[in-house]
Structure 1
Amino acid sequence: MTLQETFPTRTAPARRTRRLSFRRILMGGRIGDLGRFPRYLAFALVGGTLIWAPITGYLRTAPLTFKSGTSLILPGSGASASMNLNGIGQASSYANSAFSSNSVSPTETYKRLIGADRILEAAARSMGLDRKAFGKPRIDLVDQTSLIHLEITGGTAEEAQARGEALLEAFFAELDALRADEQATREDSGLAAIADYRNSVASTRSDIARLQEETGLVSADQYDAIVEATRLLDSRVQDLAAALQDKTQSVAALEASLGIPADAAAATLKLFADAEYAALMEEVALHAADLAKARSQFGEGHPKVQAARAAHAGATGAALLRAEAVTGLTPGQLQKLDLAPEGARADLLAELVRMDAERAGAAREHETLSARLAEERARQQALAGPAARLQDLQRDFTVAEAVFASAIARTQSTKSDVYASYPLVQVLENPSLPDRPSSPNRKLAIAAGGAATMMMMLGLLLGWMRSAVIGRLINAPKDPA
Structure 2
Amino acid sequence: MTLQDTNAGSTVHPPRKRRLSLRRFLVGGRIGDLGRFPRYLAFALLGGTLIWAPITGYLRTAPLTFKSSTSLILPGSGASASMNLNGIGQASSYANSAFSSNSVSPTETYKRLIGADRILEAAAQSMGFTRQAFGKPRINLVDQTSLIHVEIIGGSAEDAQARGDALLTAFFAELDALRSDEQMTREDSGLAAIDDYRSSVAATREDISRLQQETGLISAEHYDAIVESTRRLENRVQDLSATLDEKTQSVAALEASLGIPAKAAAATLKLFADAEFNALTNEVGVQAAALAKARSQFGEGHPTVQSASAAHRAATAAVLRQAVAVTGLDAAQLETLDLAPAGARADLLAQLVRMEAERSGAVREHATLSMRLTREQTRQENLAAAAARLQDLQRDFSVAEAVFATAIARTQSTKSDVYASYPLVQVLENPSLPDRASSPNRKLAIAAGLAATLMMLLGLLLGWMRSVIIGRLVGTPVAPLARDARQATA
TM-score (norm 2): 0.88
Return the alpha-carbon distance in structure 1 between the equivalents of residues 469 and 217 of structure 2.
Answer: 122
C-alpha distance after superposition, 1:364-383 (max 9, x if no partner) = 10111011011111111111
Larger mean CA deviation between 41-50 and 228-237 belongs to 41-50
Determine if the alignment matches structure 1 residue 154 to structure 2 residue 154. yes
Match of 1:403 in 2: 403
Return the alpha-carbon distance in structure 1 between the equivalents of residues 92 and 436 of structure 2.
Answer: 52
Match of 1:72 in 2: 72
Match of 1:51 in 2: 51
Within 5 Å, which residues of 2 pair with 1:464-479?
476-477=476-477
Residues 72 and 302 of structure 1: is their aligned pair in 2 closer, same or farther, counting only changes over 3 Å? same
The CA RMSD measured in Å over matched residues stands at 2.7
- Tell me which amino acid in the other structure corresponds to 1:262: A
Contact 2:468 2:477 in 1 (8 A): no
C-alpha distance after superposition, 1:394-434 (max 9, x if no partner) = 11112222222222222223223222222222222211111
Residues 21 and 247 of structure 1: is their aligned pair in 2 closer, same or farther, counting only changes over 3 Å? closer
Q: What secondary structure does 2:129 align onto?
A: coil
Match of 2:485 in 1: none
In structure 2, the gaps of 5 or more residues are 1-12, 479-490
Residues 32 and 245 of structure 1: is their aligned pair in 2 closer, same or farther, counting only changes over 3 Å? closer
Residues 72 and 370 of structure 1: is their aligned pair in 2 closer, same or farther, counting only changes over 3 Å? same
- Tell me which amino acid in the other structure corresponds to 1:366: H
Match of 1:5 in 2: none
Contact 2:291 2:312 in 1 (8 A): yes
Within 5 Å, which residues of 2 pair with 1:126-145?
126-145=126-145
Residues 474 and 349 of structure 1: is their aligned pair in 2 closer, same or farther, counting only changes over 3 Å? closer
Match of 2:486 in 1: none
Larger mean CA deviation between 421-430 and 284-293 belongs to 421-430
Determine if the alignment matches structure 1 residue 208 to structure 2 residue 186. no
Residues 307 and 117 of structure 1: is their aligned pair in 2 closer, same or farther, counting only changes over 3 Å? same
Residues 370 and 25 of structure 1: is their aligned pair in 2 closer, same or farther, counting only changes over 3 Å? closer
Contact 2:89 2:403 in 1 (8 A): no
Count of residues paired in the alignment = 465
Per-residue deviation at 1:111?
A: 1.0
Per-residue deviation at 1:435?
A: 0.8
Per-residue deviation at 1:95?
A: 2.0
Return the alpha-carbon distance in structure 2 between the equivalents of residues 209 and 158 of structure 1.
Answer: 73
Per-residue deviation at 1:457?
A: 4.1
Return the alpha-carbon distance in structure 2 between the equivalents of residues 91 and 329 of structure 1.
Answer: 85
- Tell me which amino acid in the other structure corresponds to 1:400: A
Q: What secondary structure does 1:136 align onto?
A: coil
Per-residue deviation at 1:236?
A: 0.8
Return the alpha-carbon distance in structure 2 between the equivalents of residues 13 and 143 of structure 1.
Answer: 78
Larger mean CA deviation between 248-257 and 133-142 belongs to 248-257
Residues 107 and 474 of structure 1: is their aligned pair in 2 closer, same or farther, counting only changes over 3 Å? closer
Q: What secondary structure does 1:390 align onto?
A: helix
Match of 1:185 in 2: 185
Per-residue deviation at 1:291?
A: 0.7
Match of 2:324 in 1: 324
Match of 2:93 in 1: 93
C-alpha distance after superposition, 1:42-101 (max 9, x if no partner) = 655554444333322322221111001111122223222222222234322222222222
C-alpha distance after superposition, 1:149-175 (max 9, x if no partner) = 110001111111111111111111111
Residues 467 and 229 of structure 1: is their aligned pair in 2 closer, same or farther, counting only changes over 3 Å? closer
Residues 13 and 86 of structure 1: is their aligned pair in 2 closer, same or farther, counting only changes over 3 Å? farther
- Tell me which amino acid in the other structure corresponds to 1:186: R
Larger mean CA deviation between 222-231 and 459-468 belongs to 459-468
Match of 2:297 in 1: 297
Match of 2:260 in 1: 260
Determine if the alignment matches structure 1 residue 312 to structure 2 residue 312. yes
Residues 32 and 287 of structure 1: is their aligned pair in 2 closer, same or farther, counting only changes over 3 Å? same
Return the alpha-carbon distance in structure 2 between the equivalents of residues 80 and 301 of structure 1.
Answer: 129
Return the alpha-carbon distance in structure 1 between the equivalents of residues 354 and 467 of structure 2.
Answer: 163
Return the alpha-carbon distance in structure 2 between the equivalents of residues 51 and 143 of structure 1.
Answer: 38
Larger mean CA deviation between 369-378 and 74-83 belongs to 74-83
Contact 1:31 1:468 in 2 (8 A): no
- Tell me which amino acid in the other structure corresponds to 1:156: S
Contact 1:73 1:428 in 2 (8 A): yes
Match of 2:176 in 1: 176
Residues 22 and 210 of structure 1: is their aligned pair in 2 closer, same or farther, counting only changes over 3 Å? closer
Return the alpha-carbon distance in structure 2 between the equivalents of residues 130 and 21 of structure 1.
Answer: 63
Larger mean CA deviation between 299-308 and 141-150 belongs to 141-150
Residues 110 and 154 of structure 1: is their aligned pair in 2 closer, same or farther, counting only changes over 3 Å? same
C-alpha distance after superposition, 1:289-327 (max 9, x if no partner) = 111110100011111111111111111112211111111
Match of 2:362 in 1: 362
Within 5 Å, which residues of 2 pair with 1:419-434?
419-434=419-434
- Tell me which amino acid in the other structure corresponds to 1:70: T
Per-residue deviation at 1:471?
A: 9.5
Return the alpha-carbon distance in structure 2 between the equivalents of residues 304 and 390 of structure 1.
Answer: 94
Larger mean CA deviation between 142-151 and 206-215 belongs to 142-151
Return the alpha-carbon distance in structure 2 between the equivalents of residues 51 and 204 of structure 1.
Answer: 90
Return the alpha-carbon distance in structure 2 between the equivalents of residues 246 and 469 of structure 1.
Answer: 145
